[in-house]
Structure 1
């Protein structure tokens, strides 16, 4: 037995040694092939003459690694594909699933990696190309050109100042021995006047006669210009420019002759102008120059940079990723094929409704736990389906009944004209119908789930709290109240009924509020009452007016010649005038009491507006009357005379409110809203305006803001507009005054016409 063990061990050792020997030979062969290929590639292919040989060798080593990985990958993929093809032909269990898994892993690894590889190469190549594109190179060249232009600009400025200084020295003969002091003073003045950093004057022996420098250069090295610099060829510029680096920056010094432009041999003296460039600017200009030089050097290595930074490293990474992904896909497909196939079969059976299926696969790993869980699942599903079928039947019946009730209640609440709001026990809104939204001018979406106090404005909270407190303290489950509240600046009157909501046990669950808008009804009742009063007053007062008028006129005609007394004339005239005034008041009562019904016909609104404006334009030249037509107005069903009367009343009120300034204006704006099928007329003035409190009473009978008014004009206007099925309301005008907004309905027949 010991001999057998030794023999087996020796056989294993021999096999292992052979395997290691083969691996060593393979590794040496691969290295040798890489060295040979790298040497051959360096001899055959060149990317640039200035590239170091070490970079070239490294680049070709990476290329050869790519080739080996590519060959290995192709062998691995091809080998496993061949094995899968044979397994599918022999119809081995799990071959199809394994094939799909392998293909999926290969595809999922190849496609994204290849796409990412080429995208990355393109991105890096484009980025590198962007470094060396024409605009970048032009920008660098132009930056360098800017620096040169700066120096040239400074030289031209220095040249200009040299010419001026030389001219003054020559014409004023400041070089004379007796004017040297005067020359020094002039040089100092010129330096300060032209804001130069230095001005120097040298004689023909190249000795500095005088100079003036800026205080910033007093403690700096400010060397005398040498004779060699002055003797340089001036060329066509007629000046010589030299640059001197100092601790505080760079000094640009320009040399010219006196007189300006002559040769050095013919010059009487030499003028030197100096300008200091700051260290920051000098440093930046030097950096630009160095940057351009470095850019030109890097441009020679463009192709090498592209290969070294994109193709080679990305290829290695991509091939490694693909190799690892393919290997892991093959391994994973092999380990999970059989259990997955069995689970797939069981899942198919369960999906078909066979909940009696049971798997007999034995395993002691996670797959075994998965199989046991699958069997428990099928058993639970079988029991749950029986209970679910019974529960579904009961729930379906209850759901249908609840849905029918809900739809019925929604239909009722939607179509009822009264407003309905329900609250829970804590006072939060749980339901609100469309009528309540419209009456209270609120949005149900924003108010649902919020406290009832958020329904009303601050002015109405006190009334709401009093009603809620009274209902809470009351022993009754219902309450009826008539309340007046203000919504959107308009006073409204509501008839309200509150009912408590309780369950079968008497537990309080909340309350429901039902209310109706009684504002228009009360307004109509008030108008009817006032009309009756007006009718009676007109009847009782009008009868005696005619005899009084006739008697006064008769007295005046008969005795005016006999009684030559001014008092008699004044008294009879007063009686007649006041009787006419009373008759006008009675006529106003009569018109209000027996206002004729409208006789509308299809008409254009614009001509009626123009006729009304024409009545006032001549009589009020200081007032601007404007008519603006924003849209084409279709024909409306109008009583021409009544609409004209309404507009006259509005214009009279507008004129009465004007302050008669230079900018007094009364405007008429006509517009049409097809979506609402309404034509709108806005009459606006720039008068003194009215208060918010007066707006709510403006259309009430016998309410007037004028001392001599009867308060029936706007009531008649409101009656006319209502007879035409329209609406009228008032708003503040900008920047001052008021505007009356009248809306007329556009009937379908008129729209079609």
Structure 2
């Protein structure tokens, strides 16, 4: 039993599409992160690599889809099963994908344009600039206050108390400038004599020398920012350090404000170009998604039509007589049920066909036996009469016994020869050997048969128009026998005088290519009452015919997986048609 497996899923293709989809997502995330973090990423090596991948990926998908579409178009032009259905399914998927993606793209770009308009509105820029101005103003204000305090009269009393009563000096500082968070007194050798306030604002002795005398400097320790000023006692033996702690994270927040304002200004200036870049970005990564959807549509169309194509091929094979063909499937869906129903139908057809063939075989042999018995019985009567006549003349002693004896014996020999010919034809019909195929040129084969009829002076056989390029894989001897039988029947129908035309053309039946041979004569044609009996064994309209010639012709053509039939017009002649497969004839 021949079988074709009908897969239920195109696993490699679907896995490939999923991997491509994941790759596209990763590419989108990477490029989006790079673009949003740095607008100049396109000019970097990483940006160029991402752009190359972003361009190469849709090109690869487009080439893959074009290859599938070209193959599909060729299949449709060649009339292959399922091609038209795949085109309709693909067009439907394409229409659905277009309907789904177009509004999303328009909505995304419109939404992005609205967001950009709101984000880069005038109040946003003013808010950023105002926040930065406030931070700078606060910083400058703290520096000015610290410098003014150091230069003021209150600080001179602080210096005076720093030597004798530093605690009172700290109380004075807290009373006058409560924002000062640290107060330290060092001797001339930078040994700390007194420290008050927040310990985080205290300096080590090694850090005291770094500052400039009387000038406010900024210092950062971890996440804290300080303003410090160092003042030396007029006597030169004491150093006083004052520290002001700015709000926690002041530097980082000020830096963030500065960076945000720079980014805002940069994007605001390039807003049009930015929108174009984002649109291009959207196109570069939405177009591959669109192509992926089309590729999935192609794969799904192939998947959907594959069982139908297998069913079509199986139906064609069954129509050609191959009842052993089956379709194997693991699917439990509707198509799987249809495949199993088809296999059951073919099994029943094969069983019924066997029964019919057996019945026809028995009936055919019964008919052949009856015809053969009739044909054998016919010569037995003259044989019996001749023998009885000889016996009667012999017993009566008739004077004309000798001529009667010779005539009777001659009649008996003639009838026995006829019986021998009949039985030989029957043996050839029942024991016709299997074809031995070989590749032959049709015109050369026909010419060999035509040459044997050159002794008929009033018979003309036309075969010069046969195409020399036509070759067949057949049993040359059996095909010669077919042609010779048809030529002989045509010659006898025309009483040896007339024309026979031999033509050959290539014709397509379903998905198979056949060579159609035509043998046309100019005889009287075949009577309408005999049309259904022409190929029956032992049917003949000739006095000397056995009625097995066309039966043998039909058997040979059938063994070559071909077909034979005829068309006739009374008074105009008869044309026999023979279709033989061009390749693998036997």
Short-chain TM bin: 0.3 to 0.5
Higher relative contact order (CA 8 A, sep 6+): 2
Q: TM-score, normalized by length of structure 1?
A: 0.29
TM-score normalized by the length of structure 2: 0.36
